[in-house]
Structure 1
Amino acid sequence: MTTVIDYNVIPGDSHLVDFDETRKSGEREGKIVLNPTPSDDPDDPLNWTPRRKWTAVACVLIYTLGACIPTAAIYSVLPNIEANTNITLSELNNGTGYMFLFLGLGCLIFQPLALQFGKRPIYLFSMLATALICVWPPYTKSNGEWVASKILQGFVGSSMESLPEISMSDLFFEHERSFALSLYGLTLLSASFLAPFVAGFISEGQGWEWVMWWCAIFGAVCFVLLFFLMEETNYDRKLKVDAATGEVITLASRKQQLGAVFTNIDEVIASNSEGNNAGEKNETKTNDIGASLQTEEYPENINIVNQVSNVEVVDSNSYAPNYEGTKTYLQKLSLFGGRRKKFLLQHYIFAPFLMARFPVVLWAGFLYGSSLVWFNVLNATAALILGGSPYDFSSSTIGVAYLSPTIFSVILFFISGLCSDWLKVRVALWRGTGLSKPEDRLWILVIYCVLGCAASILWGVGAYYEIHWFGLVFGMGLLGGCGIFGIASSATYVVDTYKELDTEAMVVVIIIRNCMSFGVSYGITDWVTDLGYKKCFISVAFLCFAANFTFLAMVYFGPRLRNRQKHMYWSMVDKYRKLGMH
């Protein structure tokens, strides 16, 4: 068996479906291939029991709530802050822009630290620091203090932008990622919209200062929960291959419980229950999860070495795994469980700059950034439009209006998450070969193109013509909820394409996204003031349409670009594996 990376493999292409025998009806029967291939270690995050896995997911979502709510809570109380300080609305929006800028730039520091020392300690530090920083803004009286507090808040909270996506990819297989990442996107958007809703009532009842103080209290509670529940997901995967059969030895092949991570495609293609018994009839033929190393029947795993560098050939008859069961509870609380033995921080810091050479990563950052731009335009104008004539909404009523994008986010979550995963499997089936490409998911953006454009016009042009408030709130909700398409599509596209270096790639995506957000936040007040609601949001509508419609270019050129840069990519993977980084 070769242990050398195959440089001719196109990054992102995978055989997602194994076609077995043809049934009597003539329809081909298939099973989903688990990619990445899980090891036989029960502490491999891909092998965790459902309870352990979803506890980890819950912790990631708790962290997202704790870090995101303070960044959005002030949107519905900006007029109150302006009235009680010497800071103008334009300066307040500028400070928010700086916060988003450092939410991106901070990833250059904290993402490498998470790879070197573990994700758990970075999550905990970020959560505790965010809670402490929230105490400062109520005491700011000048623009300089406001900007400084927002910069610091953005910097310490930057892990919220990129670490959750990587944690989800640690826990889930290729065909499950969109659901997991959409769940993160739903939490991110819901927190961003519900925070102003609650903040409006807090501001009216206790004053705007208590908005941030309650954020600090909530952050402290989240820190305690994370300290006692969050587990490290950094894992150095080692695969054992049976010398006789060439099959990867997994928990399933060792007749141990794999849990909910084993997914049969029968649910998708509505095949009969024969496939459910595959584990019983496949003991000597092939592994249930299609993990044959090098055979003509299962070509997807010929390049198993491209997935992971640690591949060892063993005799399954005499192989006895040296795992002593799963970690104890105290071992899971360790702050050093994800620490690398070698100090490679300088390489982790420099690696994202090399990933910026890949057009797929740059476009994903642009898509993610454009989706956040409309979110910022919405937040920056909500208080102006709903709080002004003829609507004259109070702070609490503006906050109630933010329930609309929350509801739409939940509705569109099922389209973005479940349908995206379904689409990826379905396209692989339609091809008849089981081949899956990262671009297959991007067709879901057609919905965003149409709904985003319509929602922008309804919100801005509706405000210009002073239509009934329900029309504005509906447009506000639709525009805000559509953001989940950009979050899920961009993250899954990058992770599916460059899974081996997805952490470094996501840093580039987040920096691009937040730089775009900073630029818009910095100029949004003048944009609306100079153009007016009608012209401003007509331009927003068609910019939104054009930005999302660029997915067609990636569907056409993406496979060619990935093929052209495959040698560059695999040389990076090979180099970093030899250094011990991955």
Structure 2
Amino acid sequence: MADDKAQDGFVECVDPRTNLKPEPRITGTVNLIEDGEIILIPRPTADPQDPLNLPEWHKWLILIIVALYAMTGNLLASGIGILIPQLNEVYNNDPHVDDLVTWPAFYMGLGNLIAMPIADAIGRRPVYLLSNVILIIGSIWCSYSNSLGSHIGGRDFMALAAGQSEALCVLIAEETFFMHQRGNRIAWFCSLQTLGTALFIIASSYISNSIGWRWWYGIFAIITGFTFVLSILFVVETKYDRPLDSFFGGSDDSAEGKVTASQRRNLDFVNFKARSFWNDLKPWGAVKPQWKEIPKFWYHLGQLTLFPAVLWLVLCSGALLGTYILMTAVFAQVLMAPPYSFNPNYLGFVMGGQAVVAFVVQPIAGYGSDIALKYLTTRNKGVSEPEYRLIPAILPAAVAIVSCVIYGRSCEYPADWAWTGVVIPMNALFYSFVSVVVLGFVYTMDCYPQRGHIAMVALCAGRGFISFGISFGTTAFVRVSGYDGALDICAIVLGVLTSFGFVTYFFGKSFRKFTQRWAVDE
């Protein structure tokens, strides 16, 4: 019998054949492939309530529904850029119109800091359902607002719920799938969100120009209501506490053993309660409230944010999002002015280029991440390292830097550049942002499996605050530095930040070994 124990966050096992202790296990370094078989990580239980035991169709349905919520949440909070020319006319070119674009990023980050600890204490489902309600109320508030101040207030309130499209929705999707599926499934989530948002943006220009910007909010409030009904019916509770050992895949010497992808799993209906549709309909109650987890959540959040790899990803994604918001805040006025002289109805198609991004992200950041993981794991004798996930990040990093340079010069010198110099770089930078988000999510989940949900908040809230800092005062920033100067600064910042990816790749395991004592529960 193996003598298992945990010391300082390390999991050790005595080898019964040699009576020697191997090197302490490092979280994230796992046996993923053995004898050509993929080992299921986390190890599923025999409990019917375990979300890993949901039928595959139900898992995909949950992913699609939360992606639909993310589509409308992301659109309402971040897709207002195409309405800015119209809103400038409505509010007589008040400089605070820019606040309709920039402040929601701040409140999306704040919403993550408030909602995610509560979701950790009482479960994902009640917080997610409440977020649907808040998004609907916020949309109606904006639709009926009678001043710019009220409009900004409604958007900030709505953004508190829209922030859940970044962390909570991803967490719900992630908790129903296994480690070897994560890159692909999270990429599917982000691709569906991106594709849906792009199609909604194309429709937005027609909606706002034909029936007004107020009905823009009204229509997407109705769509969110439809999502809310689907969520009540099918998005079940996905929070499930697991022992640390289950994240290593098990071994022949462990009490539970390993479970492979080809192995048939039988559920235990004697010792566990069977899942029922009517019981799943309850808005709350699937998880016993643990309010003491809330301050612990914030404490762990502070720790994780200072971990080198997590901090690097926060800075990278924040800089990418801030640069993208800056681009979306100014592109409409540039394209509508001579020499481009765009028809306002066509502005939706400009941001609709994100639909192409959806199809590019999935094979590169999704399948590419999982393929790289499996290939390098096989070469490493079945042992997987999270750093393998970072290899596909090289392309989006290069694309982001080039996009900033071209976009800035196209906006500053429109007579010398075609309109494609504005449209393509903006959508290309969005591709870089989404790719880094996907890779960041799956990388941190693999590194710190028991703190994955907290790491996602660090990434989402952190990038929200950083992007707000970069994009706030966009007009003044551009007026002082010019379009080319402002975007050159962004390109330099992105170049410096992304270069630290090489440090994380080669020293990531050392970082994990040093930090894991603060990132595991015995």
In 2, distance between residues paired with 1:392 and 1:320?
66
In 1, distance between residues paired with 2:371 and 2:6?
30
**Structure 1 position 417 matched with structure 2 position 366:** yes
- The 3-state SS of whatever aligns with 2:6 is coil
User: After the TM superposition, which parts of structure 1 deviate over 6 Å for at least 4 consecutive aligned residues?
Assistant: 238-245
Alignment-mate amino acid for residue 9 of structure 1: R
1:516 is aligned to 466
2:57 is aligned to 51
- The 3-state SS of whatever aligns with 1:153 is helix
In 1, distance between residues paired with 2:370 and 2:432?
18
Residue range with higher mean Cα deviation, 445-454 or 353-362:
353-362
1:273 is aligned to none
**Structure 1 position 437 matched with structure 2 position 453:** no
Contact 2:70–2:162 (Cα < 8 Å) also in 1: no
Q: Could you say if the C-alpha distance between residues 548 and 32 of structure 1 is closer, same or farther in structure 2, counting changes exceeding 3 Å?
A: same
Alignment-mate amino acid for residue 347 of structure 2: I
Alignment-mate amino acid for residue 44 of structure 2: P
**Structure 1 position 16 matched with structure 2 position 29:** no
- Measured after TM superposition, the shift of residue 429 of structure 1 is 1.7
Alignment-mate amino acid for residue 5 of structure 2: V
In 2, distance between residues paired with 1:141 and 1:186?
36
Alignment-mate amino acid for residue 287 of structure 2: R
In 2, distance between residues paired with 1:449 and 1:339?
40
- Measured after TM superposition, the shift of residue 200 of structure 1 is 0.8
Q: Could you say if the C-alpha distance between residues 380 and 37 of structure 1 is closer, same or farther in structure 2, counting changes exceeding 3 Å?
A: same
Alignment-mate amino acid for residue 31 of structure 2: H
- Measured after TM superposition, the shift of residue 110 of structure 1 is 0.8
What does 1:129-148 correspond to in 2, within 5 Å?
A: 129-148=134-153
**Structure 1 position 404 matched with structure 2 position 349:** no
In 2, distance between residues paired with 1:485 and 1:263?
27
- The 3-state SS of whatever aligns with 2:341 is coil
1:117 is aligned to 122
1:171 is aligned to 176
Provide TM-score, normalisation by structure 2: 0.88
Q: Deviations over 1:111-132 (max 9, x none)?
A: 1111222211111111111111
1:578 is aligned to none
- Measured after TM superposition, the shift of residue 3 of structure 1 is 5.3
- Measured after TM superposition, the shift of residue 244 of structure 1 is 10
1:35 is aligned to 41
- The 3-state SS of whatever aligns with 1:5 is strand
Mark the runs of 5 or more structure 2 residues left unpaired by the alignment: 11-23
**Structure 1 position 248 matched with structure 2 position 240:** no
- Measured after TM superposition, the shift of residue 326 of structure 1 is 4.1
1:534 is aligned to 484
**Structure 1 position 126 matched with structure 2 position 131:** yes
In 2, distance between residues paired with 1:370 and 1:32?
36
2:224 is aligned to 219
In 2, distance between residues paired with 1:439 and 1:126?
34
Contact 1:61–1:187 (Cα < 8 Å) also in 2: yes
In 2, distance between residues paired with 1:499 and 1:243?
18
1:359 is aligned to 308
Q: Deviations over 1:216-246 (max 9, x none)?
A: 1221121112112211111234799999975
Contact 2:68–2:227 (Cα < 8 Å) also in 1: yes
In 2, distance between residues paired with 1:136 and 1:244?
58
In 1, distance between residues paired with 2:490 and 2:377?
35
2:396 is aligned to 448
Q: Deviations over 1:428-462 (max 9, x none)?
A: 1222x222211111111110122222222332222
- The 3-state SS of whatever aligns with 2:37 is strand
In 1, distance between residues paired with 2:518 and 2:236?
34
85, 89, 112: which one pairs with 1:83? 89
- The 3-state SS of whatever aligns with 2:519 is helix
Contact 2:59–2:176 (Cα < 8 Å) also in 1: yes
Q: Could you say if the C-alpha distance between residues 71 and 542 of structure 1 is closer, same or farther in structure 2, counting changes exceeding 3 Å?
A: same
Q: Deviations over 1:457-502 (max 9, x none)?
A: 3322223332222343233332222222111111111111111111
Mark the runs of 5 or more structure 1 residues left unpaired by the alignment: 21-29, 253-261, 265-278, 280-287, 290-315, 575-582
1:152 is aligned to 157
**Structure 1 position 368 matched with structure 2 position 384:** no
Contact 2:107–2:159 (Cα < 8 Å) also in 1: yes
In 2, distance between residues paired with 1:68 and 1:112?
21
What does 1:162-561 correspond to in 2, within 5 Å?
A: 162-237=167-242, 246=254, 248=256, 263=261, 322-323=270-271, 326-340=274-288, 342-344=290-292, 345-431=294-380, 433-466=381-414, 467-561=417-511
Contact 1:118–1:335 (Cα < 8 Å) also in 2: no
User: Which has the larger Rg?
Assistant: 1
In 2, distance between residues paired with 1:243 and 1:492?
23
Contact 2:75–2:200 (Cα < 8 Å) also in 1: yes
- Measured after TM superposition, the shift of residue 341 of structure 1 is 5.0
Alignment-mate amino acid for residue 378 of structure 2: L
1:285 is aligned to none
Provide TM-score, normalisation by structure 1: 0.79
Q: Deviations over 1:403-446 (max 9, x none)?
A: 22321332232111000110011111222x22221111111111
